[in-house]
Structures are given as C-alpha cells and as structure tokens.
C-alpha cells in the first residue's frame, strides 16, 4: 500500500515537473499578443506532430502540451487565471466547473489550423492540396561542408484570426438563396415560348453555400491569407546538386484540404568571390561533377618545363592541398593530375554499406602559359642556347610521326 502511495506521489511530482511554463513552452513573452500565440502554436504543433515524429514519445507529449498551452493562453479568462495562479489555478478552475473547455483533443485543434482531420496523410478519402516547389541555390561550399540555414516561402495559410471560418464572430450561415447547395436553377428563354433550365453557381454565396455576415477583417472572409513562412534547411555534406528535399504538408493550406508537400529543389549557385575570409578560397571556383571536383592550375613555361614549384590550394573548408614538382619534373600542357580523396564528400545516402565516409577526387588540369614578350637580353641568351643545342641534338618531329622529311622542322 505504502509503495502504491509513493508511486502515486511520484507520478504527481513528475506531472508537476512536466507542466512547463506555458509561455516558455510556446517560446513567448508574458505580453505576447493573440497573433503571436497563434503563430507559435502553428509552428510548434507542426514540429511536434506525432505523424512527423513516429515513435518519439517526447514529441508526442510536447504536441499535447503545446495544444494545452495554446488553449489556455488564447482564452482571455483562462490566461488571466494562469498568469495569477499558474497551473494549479487552471486545474482548480477546471474542477470548479468553470467554463468548459471546448477542445480537448489536440488533433481537433490542429485540424482547425491546418485543415483535414488533424493528421498528415494516411487517411483515405481526404483531399490533398497541390504540392509546391521552390528552388534554393547555395554555393558549392555548403554542399561540401554541410550547413544549416533558413529559407522563406510565401504561401497560402489558413487565416489564424478566424481559424479558417472566414467569419469575424465565428458565425457562418447557410445561404438562403440556394439553401446551402451553392447551385441554383435558372430558367432561360431561348425563343418565345421556348425555355431552358440551367444550373449555375449561386450569385449570392459564390457557390460555397455559406454566407458570412461579418467577414473576418484579416482575410476578408476568404478564410486564407498569403504569408511568408520560414523553414530550416539542413544541407548535408555531399548532397547532389539538384537534390529534392520534401517538407511534408508544408504547401498551400486551405480549410478544405490537407496541405500538400513543399519540395525544395536544392541547386548549386554560380561561384562568386565573397567578402568574408571563408568565402575567398580557391575552392569557391572548383567545379563539381558528381563526387569529383575540377580545378585548372596555371603554370609558367619555366615551371612546367623545369619544375621546382609549389602551389597551395585552399579547399572549400580552408584546408590546404599542396601541389608541387621537384626540379627537373616536367608537366605537359593539359595534363590532369588526380588528387585522391580531395573531391566532394560522398553523401551518406550514397555510401556503400559499412563505409562511414568517403571522398571523390580533385582533378587538377595544368595549363601552361608561354611568355609573349621577353627582354631583349633575355631573348638573345635564350636564342643562343637553342642554337647551340639544336645543332648538337636535333630531333625531327616530322620523322617521329612518320611524315616525309622536310627542311626547317627540326627542333630540340
């Protein structure tokens, strides 16, 4: 028995600890406006919805708690009681037969905000709104390093002022013209004595079958508003250019349907040399093909021919990839050097089983630039060197290629 009492007390205690401050829960200040409360509910209830967090009890609890907090704070009387007496006051108020709360089911509340049955998909026969596509472009650097950022889309949302009823006072009446059917039968005279009956949309209610005497001042009775919504975007290391990321049920909302999906089309933007240090790397101008990166490195004639040079390439995360040749190492123009493992990280979804990480290659193409001008003295010296050595060790390029002998084509 004692054990049971202790257990019961423990439950009570944990319940008390769990009842987080309503304002804190919704991320609001004490003087939050009605609009702010609604906005907080909208974003948090979507975030914690059980359909989006399958098997996550904590999210489920939060979903219920957010609905509870909303219903208290949105009701003037309840909010006053809560501000004064806290959770205990609310409990007492409920027990004392105060005004009955209208909404106990958090899914009910959810559906008033987002249409449908309060669930995301999975319910047969429920109408789905159209999907929405947006393009978000980000620099290659973000595909290499991964990044969490935000983007904003403008979309149609259920008017939170009237909760999608379109009415300022919550009253929606059946249209008396069409009897709520939205359609009326009209008689049209085609010729004297010849009539035709046609069914048309009711003029009075616009075919909706309902009329609102006091339209909501925010949406003018249309039940929806256009507003910007900001989403978090997780760019994962190595995500392919053009990848599609789906945000379930985040497309246009309407009281008549369950919102479709918002699909983000993530593409690589044109490289621009940025202002900040980390935006000013050589990597900014790497080109990507799949998991490989490409870069063109320019060498002078001396470097290509004589060797003895070093280049420090700053990669997309700022680390250095060193390219170099010792004296005497020749590089032919157009040579491609493959630097293993310095390409893009392979996206986790494309990694072979049992492999944690893997990188593509960096392909460096060497371009050799010849001097188009030389100082006179220098030119003379070079010329003398050529003359001396071509007499001793001439190579005939034509002969090497199997072409007939011709004069004047010998070269060192």
CA atoms within a 13 Å half-sphere pointing along the CA-CB vector of 68? 18
Three-class secondary structure assignment of 213-238: CCECCCCCCCCEEEEEEEEEEEECCC
Return the residue of 59, 64, 136, 161 that touches Zn ion, per CB under 5 A: 161
Q: Is 212 in the site for Zn ion (CB under 5 A)?
A: no
**Least distance from Zn ion to the Cβ atom of residue 275, Å:** 43
Looking at beta carbons only, is 212 or 235 nearer to Zn ion?
A: 212
Considering beta carbons, is residue 132 or 216 the nearer one to Zn ion?
A: 216
Contact pattern for Zn ion over residues 164 through 183, marking x by CB under 5 A: -----------x-xx-----
Could you tell me which stretch among 90-98, 160-168, 293-301, 359-367 binds Zn ion (CB under 5 A)? 160-168
With binding defined as CB under 5 A, does residue 81 bind Zn ion?
no
Q: Are 303 and 330 in contact (CB under 8 A)?
A: no
CA–CA dist 329, 176 (Å, integer): 93
Helix (H, G, I), strand (E, B) or coil at 167: strand
Nearest distance from residue 108's CB to Zn ion, in Å? 19
159 versus 313: smaller Cβ distance to Zn ion: 159
Question: Do 271 and 141 touch, CB atoms closer than 8 A?
Answer: no
For the chain, give the longest Cα–Cα distance: 117
- Given the complex with Zn ion, which of 92 and 214 has the nearer CB atom? 214
- Residue 368 tokens, joined: 């050799």
Smallest separation, CB 199 to Zn ion (Å)? 13
What is the DSSP code string of 56-102? -HHHHHHHHHHHHHHHHHTSHHHHHHHHHHHHHHHHHHHHTT-SPPS
Round to whole Å and give the CA distance between 133 and 301.
51
Of the residues 78, 219, 235, 346, which one makes contact with Zn ion according to CB under 5 A:
219
Pattern of binders to Zn ion over 263-282, x per CB under 5 A? --------------------
- Going by C-alpha positions, the residue among 129, 228, 97, 212 that lies closest to residue 165 is 212
157 binds Zn ion (CB under 5 A): no
CB of 167 to Zn ion, least distance (A): 8
- What does the alpha-carbon distance between residue 78 and residue 328 come to, in Å, rounded to a whole number? 85
Q: Please, which residue, 216 or 362, has the CB nearer to Zn ion?
A: 216
Measure CA 307 to chain center: 47
Of 41, 43, 93, residue with least CA distance to 71: 41
Please identify, using beta-carbon distances, which residue of 157 and 219 lies nearer to Zn ion.
219
Among 158, 162, 259, 299, binds Zn ion (CB under 5 A): 162
Give the C-alpha distances (Å, rounded to integers) separating 63 from 53, 74, 165, 255.
10, 16, 23, 21
Q: How far is the CB of 254 from Zn ion (least distance, A)?
A: 13
Answer for which of 72, 202, 259, 316 binds Zn ion (CB under 5 A) is 202
* Residue 204 lies near Zn ion (rule: CB under 5 A): yes
Minimum CB separation of residue 87 from Zn ion in Å reads 31
CB of 155 to Zn ion, least distance (A): 16
Q: Which is nearer to Zn ion, 218 or 339 (CB)?
A: 218
- Cβ proximity to Zn ion: between 203 and 381 the closer is 203
**Beta carbons within 10 angstroms of residue 58's beta carbon:** 9
User: Does residue 218 bind Zn ion (CB under 5 A)?
Assistant: yes
Q: How many residues bind Zn ion (CB under 5 A)?
A: 12
| Residue 216 vs 364, nearer CB to Zn ion | 216
- In total, the chain counts a number of residues equal to 412
- Among 118-126, 129-137, 218-226, 342-350, which window interacts with Zn ion (CB under 5 A)? 218-226
Report yes or no: 225 and 156 within 8 Å, Cβ to Cβ: yes
H or E element that contains 304: helix 301-306
What does the binding site for Zn ion look like in residue numbers (CB under 5 A)?
A: 159, 161-162, 175, 177-178, 202, 204-205, 216, 218-219
């Amino acid at each position: 028995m004692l054990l049971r009492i202790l257990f019961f007390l423990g439950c009570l205690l944990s319940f008390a600890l769990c009842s987080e401050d309503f304002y804190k829960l919704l991320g609001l200040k004490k003087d939050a406006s009605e609009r702010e409360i609604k906005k907080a509910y909208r974003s948090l209830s979507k975030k914690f919805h059980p359909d989006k967090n399958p098997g996550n009890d904590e999210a489920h609890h939060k979903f219920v708690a957010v609905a509870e907090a909303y219903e208290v704070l949105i009701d003037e009387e309840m909010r006053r009681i809560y501000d004064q007496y806290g959770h205990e006051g609310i409990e007492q108020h409920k027990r004392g037969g105060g005004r009955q709360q209208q909404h106990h089911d958090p899914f009910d509340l959810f559906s008033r905000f987002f249409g449908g049955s309060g669930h995301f998909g999975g319910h047969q026969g429920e109408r789905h709104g159209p999907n929405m596509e947006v393009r978000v472009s980000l620099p290659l650097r973000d595909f290499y390093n991964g990044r969490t950022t935000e983007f904003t889309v403008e979309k149609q949302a259920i008017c939170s002022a009237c909760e999608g009823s379109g009415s300022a006072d919550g009253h929606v009446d059946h249209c008396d013209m069409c009897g709520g059917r939205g359609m009326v039968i009209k008689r049209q005279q085609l010729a004297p004595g010849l009539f035709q009956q046609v069914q048309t949309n009711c003029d009075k209610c616009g075919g909706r079958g309902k009329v609102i005497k006091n339209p909501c001042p925010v949406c003018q009775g249309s039940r929806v508003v256009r507003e910007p919504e900001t989403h978090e975007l997780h760019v994962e290391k190595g995500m392919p250019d053009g990848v599609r990321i789906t945000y379930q049920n985040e497309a246009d909302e309407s009281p008549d349907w369950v919102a479709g999906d918002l699909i983000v089309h993530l593409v690589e933007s044109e490289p621009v040399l940025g202002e900040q240090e980390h935006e000013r790397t050589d990597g900014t101008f790497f080109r990507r093909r799949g998991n490989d990166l490409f870069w063109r490195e320019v060498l002078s004639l001396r470097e290509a021919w004589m060797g003895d040079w070093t280049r420090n390439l700053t990669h997309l995360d700022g680390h250095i990839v060193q390219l170099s040749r010792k004296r005497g190492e020749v590089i032919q123009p157009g040579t491609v050097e493959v630097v293993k493992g310095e390409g893009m990280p392979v996206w986790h979804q494309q990694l072979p089983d049992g492999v944690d990480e893997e990188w593509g290659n960096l392909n460096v193409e060497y371009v050799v630039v010849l001097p188009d001008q030389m100082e006179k003295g220098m030119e003379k010296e070079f010329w003398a060197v050529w003359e001396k050595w071509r007499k001793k060790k001439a190579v005939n390029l034509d002969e090497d290629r199997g072409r007939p002998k011709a004069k004047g084509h010998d070269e060192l």
